[in-house]
Amino acid sequence: MSGRKYVTTVGVEVHVELATRTKMFCSCLNAPQGVAPNLATCPVCLGLPGSLPVINREAVRLGIVAALALNCAVNPRIWFERKNYVYPDLVKGYQISQIAMPLGERGWLAIIGDDGAEKKVAINRVHLEEDTARLAHSGDNSLIDVNRSGAPLMEIVTDAVLRSGREAEEYVRKLRAILVYNGVSRCRIQRGEMRVEANVSIAPEGAKELGVRSEIKNQAGFNHMRSAVEYEVRRQAGALDAGGTLRQETRGWDDVNQRTFVQRSKEDAHDYRYFPEPDLPPLNIDPAWVAAVEAALPTGYEDYVAGLLGQGLTAADVDALSRNDALGFLRLAASAMGDKTVLFAKRLIKDVFALANSTGVPLDESRLGPSAFRDAALLLENGKIAAEGFRTLLDVLYREGGEAERRAGENQLFVETDAGAVAEAISKVFAENPRLIEDFKNGKIAVRNALLGRTMKAVGKRADPRVVSGLLDQALQHQGRADHDRDTRLPRGKS
């Protein structure tokens, strides 16, 4: 290595699939479950002659939500362009996108920079476009599934302001959390719902212009992106130190060998022959609509997290909620920041994430919705169901869905307040465990818990532990008194 020092510059482009019911310009289902390949299509998303696109209002609304959440200005009049290129997954031969007037511009997202201080990452633009088909390669064959063609896609582009792989990784993690929290996209990376590209260049310290950049495509995960950026910085510095020059190119990441490799030389915007989409007039975005969308936005992501920490959740709790994409779920379950929020958060972490682990189904793919979860948690809180019944109810809701109250009834989970049945169970346990009773009478108070456990088991999950516990203590006192009356021997205290 020579002694030359370089400044690293990274810009990040993120594509996310919007969580709409239908596609961007037609009424075909977006990302339908269980629909065979190439059946969720129509003349519009197949690009057949004579078909006309219609803009999906919900996709525009989600775009506005994202733009506002990222502190962007929303442009009052936008339009779409055709981006022309040839690739097997582009069945129409062009993609409807935005170049001249994006939906949102000039925003920012705060991260902790490499110097430890807060850094506002400038977001250049947020624009809407449509997705391409999906290619699958096996052996010598390539298969195409057009179901994804025309799915609503949003692109979020930063200025070239990030200084390292670490900053880029922190930015995309935070971006993902904000988009998921606001319900814009589910951002499941393994399903291609979020795709990240990093533009990396280095320039000698003090240089006025940026160096030649390489664009690293579609990394599978955020840690891959960071590794790829860090490798690329080393590769470029090595090339420049050796007296070489760099080419503007698109590179892929080889995770096995931990290196980037050339995919193709990079096109410039003019290579795409953009022109205004002739089938769509410009779209006026009513400021009153933007104001209504803004008014309906939830508490900002950062304020929400700060509020949770202020209410007594630990950073580890918040991290667990965030990793499970459950902050938005929690917000919907506990709509007002009340004392119930912490309670619900603890139940989510303890009981629901355990179900996610044991079933292998993440929360957002389960049948459990925020309102059913809230109702179930309140049934437990109000003593209508017991702890074990609550876990059973959650399990049913998680796998099968439905309303908490109805499911609790169907599964006979409401607590038994029939004191007679509990007393009967206590008598039975006492009769079956004479030694424990004898131990108790001899002062071994701790056996009470063993007796309680056996009684709970005998009455089943419908029993309210508080009722059982009270009746058990009465019965034990009665045992003690009976002995006292008989021979004045008192049970000894704890000491």
Which span sits near Zn ion by CB under 5 A: 42-50, 242-250, 363-371, 413-421?
42-50
The amino acid present at 56, given as its one-letter code, is N
Dihedral sign (CA 231, 234, 240, 244): negative
- The residues near 116 (Cβ < 8 Å, ≥ 6 apart) are none
Q: Indicate the residue among 53 and 63 with the shorter CB distance to Zn ion.
A: 53
Q: Indicate the residue among 28 and 356 with the shorter CB distance to Zn ion.
A: 28
The amino acid present at 250, given as its one-letter code, is T
Q: Indicate the residue among 66 and 146 with the shorter CB distance to Zn ion.
A: 146
Which span sits near Zn ion by CB under 5 A: 37-45, 299-307, 331-339, 348-356?
37-45
Run of H or E including 200: strand 194-204
Which span sits near Zn ion by CB under 5 A: 45-53, 189-197, 306-314, 344-352?
45-53
Say how far apart CA 407 and CA 394 lie, in whole Å: 10
Say how far apart CA 12 and CA 198 lie, in whole Å: 5
Which span sits near Zn ion by CB under 5 A: 22-30, 245-253, 296-304, 424-432?
22-30
Six-digit token pair at 12? 């990040």
Q: Indicate the residue among 40 and 429 with the shorter CB distance to Zn ion.
A: 40
Q: Indicate the residue among 54 and 419 with the shorter CB distance to Zn ion.
A: 54
In whole angstroms, the minimum distance from the beta carbon of 59 to Zn ion comes to: 13
Residue from 7, 29, 42, 55 touching Zn ion (CB under 5 A): that is: 42
Question: For 388, how many CA atoms within 13 A lie in the half-sphere containing its CB?
Answer: 13
Q: Indicate the residue among 44 and 318 with the shorter CB distance to Zn ion.
A: 44
Q: Indicate the residue among 44 and 437 with the shorter CB distance to Zn ion.
A: 44
In whole angstroms, the minimum distance from the beta carbon of 27 to Zn ion comes to: 7
In whole angstroms, the minimum distance from the beta carbon of 50 to Zn ion comes to: 14
Which span sits near Zn ion by CB under 5 A: 44-52, 87-95, 231-239, 482-490?
44-52
Say how far apart CA 24 and CA 396 lie, in whole Å: 35
In whole angstroms, the minimum distance from the beta carbon of 133 to Zn ion comes to: 12
In whole angstroms, the minimum distance from the beta carbon of 409 to Zn ion comes to: 43
Residue from 12, 14, 45, 68 touching Zn ion (CB under 5 A): that is: 45
In whole angstroms, the minimum distance from the beta carbon of 418 to Zn ion comes to: 59
Q: Indicate the residue among 52 and 73 with the shorter CB distance to Zn ion.
A: 52
Site for Zn ion in 228-267 (CB under 5 A): none
Site for Zn ion in 456-495 (CB under 5 A): none
In whole angstroms, the minimum distance from the beta carbon of 150 to Zn ion comes to: 5
Position 96 contacts Zn ion (CB under 5 A): no
Per DSSP, helices labelled H in 47-188 are 57-69, 165-181
In whole angstroms, the minimum distance from the beta carbon of 129 to Zn ion comes to: 15
Q: Indicate the residue among 51 and 411 with the shorter CB distance to Zn ion.
A: 51
Q: Which long-range contacts (CB under 8 A, 24 or more apart) does 170-175 make?
A: 170/111, 170/112, 171/12, 171/109, 171/111, 171/121, 172/12, 172/14, 172/196, 172/222, 172/225, 173/222, 174/109, 174/110, 174/111, 175/14, 175/70, 175/109
Position 28 contacts Zn ion (CB under 5 A): yes
Count of residues near Zn ion by CB under 5 A: 5
For the chain, the distance separating the N- and C-terminal CA atoms, rounded to the nearest angstrom, is 74
Run of H or E including 45: helix 43-46
Q: Indicate the residue among 29 and 122 with the shorter CB distance to Zn ion.
A: 29
Cα angle vertex 77, ends 75, 80, to 5°? 100
In whole angstroms, the minimum distance from the beta carbon of 130 to Zn ion comes to: 10
The amino acid present at 275, given as its one-letter code, is F
Say how far apart CA 444 and CA 493 lie, in whole Å: 9
Residue from 12, 14, 26, 59 touching Zn ion (CB under 5 A): that is: 26
Dihedral sign (CA 457, 459, 463, 469): negative
In whole angstroms, the minimum distance from the beta carbon of 42 to Zn ion comes to: 3
Which span sits near Zn ion by CB under 5 A: 36-44, 240-248, 320-328, 386-394?
36-44
Which span sits near Zn ion by CB under 5 A: 25-33, 261-269, 315-323, 487-495?
25-33
In whole angstroms, the minimum distance from the beta carbon of 52 to Zn ion comes to: 12
Per DSSP, helices labelled H in 131-280 are 165-181, 222-241
Q: Indicate the residue among 232 and 277 with the shorter CB distance to Zn ion.
A: 277
Which span sits near Zn ion by CB under 5 A: 35-43, 327-335, 360-368, 439-447?
35-43
Site for Zn ion in 377-406 (CB under 5 A): none
Residues across the chain = 495
The amino acid present at 268, given as its one-letter code, is D
CA-based nearest residue to 224, from 194, 179, 265, 201: 194
Q: Indicate the residue among 54 and 207 with the shorter CB distance to Zn ion.
A: 54
Per DSSP, helices labelled H in 340-460 are 340-347, 353-359, 370-381, 387-400, 404-410, 419-432, 434-441, 447-459
Instruction: State the residues that interact with Zn ion by CB under 5 A.
Output: 26, 28, 42, 44-45
